[in-house]
Amino acid sequence: MKFGTKAIHAGVQPDPSTGAVMTPIFQTSTYAQEAPGVHKGYEYSRTHNPTRDALQKNLAALENGKYGFVFSSGLAATDTLMRTLKPGDEVIVTNDLYGGTYRLFRRVHEIYGLKFHFINMENVADIEAYINENTRMLWVETPTNPLMKIIDIAGVARIAKKYGLLLTVDNTFASPYLQNPLDLGADIVMHSVTKYLGGHSDVVMGALVTSHDDLAEQLAFLQNAVGAVPGPMDCFLVLRGIKTLHLRMRQHCENGRVIAEWLEQHPAVGKVYYPGFETHPNHHVARKQMKDFGGMVSFTFKEDNIDLAKAFMSNLQVFTLAESLGGVESLCCHPATMTHASIPKEEREKTGLRDTLIRLSVGVEDVEDLIADLSQAIEKAFQMASK
């Protein structure tokens, strides 16, 4: 099946008891057994739930994987994956990444003996210098958050295979519609399902997808043993959101392109971070591994003034100033004080993340209204700054 058909049908069957076309919300914690240990495949909803099972099969299909696992958040998914490692193991990580991932690695898992190296992976050849006998995993986020760097997944996969390492790709910014890391050689795909997969800013969830049998067995054990699972209502909402993923992503991409081009031409704007520009350092990689360039755009003003940036964000009317991304509505985020505040300032600035950077999650509204909103907010910001 092609992507749109998979989004609607994969993992989903009419309910056998009623014929319901939509997967029911199995809002139950436990299941009746005919005799001790004799049941219909379900015992307790932390372990298995029919609504969750349908979503996991759907996500596996969208990423062209064999096994899908969903969790109560993207960080819960990441935390579960890190539990497959042991004290002394090392992970090489993209240095421009979601602040919550950095915090989890540095302030939680390093305490228990894992070691993380945060490096620039735009040139994949640089990775090998950090690999040693303790390295077990490479962690890639592409496009990166929030500087929109592009990392060659196939190139990193070749290095991972050469040294017998696991390659995990955080595919949140791209979604399975734009990019399928398993097809490019990755071993594991991670998603903050909260974002494009859910698509409506009403669910917090994470997911892991793999085709490795042994790893899947470990993840299934940990999912049950640790218990950071989502409820059936959230699984239902994500199943519903995924049915329009292909339609939404087309509009996100189109609007994102128009907004990026408009910003680039604006006389007050300094730099625009968008992988769809031919001037982007790894634009050729993005063209090779992505179907389109997504709806995420970051930028700075020519005047490197934090008060100006804050005034702009405070005067938006259609864009909402809020954390998160990937919903149908357009959002504006200030990474330094919001999504990346947990990364020390000096570490942020090493990667190029300045306090004046603004990140846009471009929604699916009429793009003319979005441009008008950006325009009036810029005008008001400069009026306020001149007083």
pLDDT single digits (tens) 291-318 = 999 999 999 999 999 999 999 999 999 9
Query: On the CB side of 154, how many CA atoms lie within 13 Å of its CA?
Result: 9
Give me the pLDDT at residue 9, please. Answer: 96
What is the CATH superfamily name and number for domain 246-386?
Answer: Aspartate Aminotransferase, domain 1 (3.90.1150.10)
Dihedral sign from CA coordinates of 42, 48, 51, 54 = negative
Asked whether the predicted pLDDT for residue 10 surpasses 80, the reply is yes
Does the pLDDT at position 277 exceed 90? yes
**Cβ(288)–Cβ(183) under 8 Å?**
no
96, 180, 268, 300, 371 from 285: Cα distances, Å: 17, 14, 29, 24, 28
User: Region 4-30: what's the mean pLDDT?
Assistant: 95
Given a contact cutoff of 8 angstroms between Cβ atoms, the answer to whether 137 and 167 are in contact is yes
- For the segment 209-225, the average pLDDT, to the nearest whole number, is 98
Backbone Cα Rg of the chain: 21
pLDDT > 70: what percent of the chain? 100
Which pLDDT belongs to residue 137? 98
Residue 170 falls in the annotated catalytic set: yes
What's the pLDDT score for residue 369? 98
Is 115 designated active site? no
Q: What is the pLDDT of residue 386?
A: 77
- Of 56, 290, 68, which is closest to residue 183 (Cα–Cα)? 290
Measuring CA to CA, how many Å separate 24 from each of 28, 207, 368? 11, 20, 39
- The catalytic residue among 53, 170, 234, 292 is 170
Domains in the chain: boundaries: 3-240, 246-386
Detail the DSSP E strand segments found in the chain. 67-71, 90-94, 115-119, 135-141, 166-170, 188-192, 206-210, 269-273, 296-301, 320-321, 331-333, 358-361
**Residues 353-370 pLDDT 10s:** 999 999 999 999 999 999
Give the C-alpha separation, 316 to 44, whole Å: 47
Q: What is the pLDDT of residue 158?
A: 98
What size, in residues, is the chain?
387
User: Residue 159: its pLDDT value, please?
Assistant: 98
Q: Where residue 385 falls among pLDDT bands split at 50, 70, 90?
A: confident
Q: CB within 8 A of 132, min separation 6: which ones?
A: 90
Encoded tokens for 334: 């200030």
Catalytic residue among 98, 196, 273, 274: 98
Please, which residues have CB within 8 angstroms of residue 75's CB and are 6 or more apart in sequence? 100, 101, 104, 206
**pLDDT on residue 355:** 96
Decide: helix, strand or coil at residue 38: strand
Q: Helix 367-386 to helix 245-265 angle, to the nearest 10 degrees?
A: 40
Q: Which of 6, 195, 248, 257 is catalytic?
A: 195
**pLDDT of res. 71:** 98
Amino acid 86: pLDDT: 98
Considering 15, 31, 42, 46, which one is annotated as catalytic?
Answer: 46
CA separation for the pair 78, 88 (Å, rounded): 18
Mean pLDDT over residues 230-259, rounded? 98
The mean pLDDT of 73-100, rounded to a whole number, is 98
- pLDDT reported for residue 387: 72
Q: Which CATH class is domain 3-240?
A: alpha beta
* 98 catalytic per annotation: yes
Interior/surface letters 14-49, b for 16+ CB within 10 angstroms, e for the rest: eeeeeeeeebebbeeeebeeeeeeeeeebeebbebb
46 is catalytic: yes
Mean pLDDT of all residues belonging to the chain: 97
* Percentage of residues in the chain having pLDDT higher than 90: 98
Read off the pLDDT band of 228 (50, 70, 90).
very high
Each residue's pLDDT tens digit, 145-164: 999 999 999 999 999 999 99
Give 44's pLDDT tier (boundaries 50, 70, 90): very high
Q: Which residues contact 216 (CB under 8 A, 6 or more apart)?
A: 66, 67, 69, 210
Is omega for the bond preceding 50 within 30 degrees of 0, making it cis?
no
